[in-house]
Amino acid sequence: MINNEPRNIGSMMGISPSVKFLLILNVAVFLIEALLRVPLSGWFALPALWWQSLSFGQLFTYMFVHGGYMHLFVNMLGLFFIGPTVERTIGSYRFFVLYYVSGILGGLGWSLLAQDGTYCVGASGAVMGILGAFGALYPQAKLLLWFVIPCRAWMLVLGLAIWELHETITTPLIGGIANAAHLIGGIAGFSYALSLKHPHLLAGLKASLRGKAKPKPSSAPRPDRLTKEQVDAILDKIGKEGMGALTLRERELLKRATRGQG
């Protein structure tokens, strides 16, 4: 169960363990590629048609390589400012689940629309998942858009979702910014955090699905259960034709009726 709002957002600031690890890992990978000329992007990037080459590993590795200094800076900036509050709220293990699931689902979403021959890199889908989770956990928290414009978290998340959806629809053959990865990653993070904040909603959904799948008990009498109509019919037959006219089934029913068995 997650608390609805922190007592003080400011008290939850400062670097957290998982965020520190991810910052170091992303920066280290970038520096290894930039300074040592190791072609990590060529190895780790997610190709549009990754399933043809069974490149399942790239669904994970693509989020740790970036296309340039600014690409890395923007993603790490979002991770640094939003990540610690989310991690301290849901815990380090769930934070890692949030980060990786948002990134992987974002990559999957991008690949469904991407143009053949293009590649996806960057932690944007994972970071958007963290932002979506923050919006679900603390919708009324105040954030500074571009460090200047005050904005509620829910308004920022909703605005970004609408923008990314618009860009995904209007540019279906993606070859530049991975808007679909941003959108799917953000939705994944928001949904995951919402399920943690309100676990009764998920439990209610599961119970509802189980209730629909369970067959309703029939109101018709069981074929082996003796009814008053059956007994009356047998007695009428005896009165008209005698005991000898009864079948074996009717004799058994009559015996059960005299013993008080239904």
Please pick, among 124, 166, 200, 218, the residue that the annotation labels catalytic: 124
- Residue 200: active-site member: no
Distance (Å, rounded) from C-alpha 17 to C-alpha 57?
Answer: 25
- Residue 182: active-site member: yes
Please name the amino acid found at residue 187: I
Beta carbons within 8 Å of 133's beta carbon, 6+ residues apart:
86, 90, 98, 189, 190, 192, 193
The sign one gets for the Cα dihedral 200, 192, 139, 169 is: negative
Token reading at 36: 């040592």
Q: How far is CA 74 from CA 70, 97, 189, 202, 246, in A?
A: 6, 22, 18, 34, 90
Please pick, among 166, 182, 198, 219, the residue that the annotation labels catalytic: 182
Which are the catalytic amino acids?
A: 124, 182
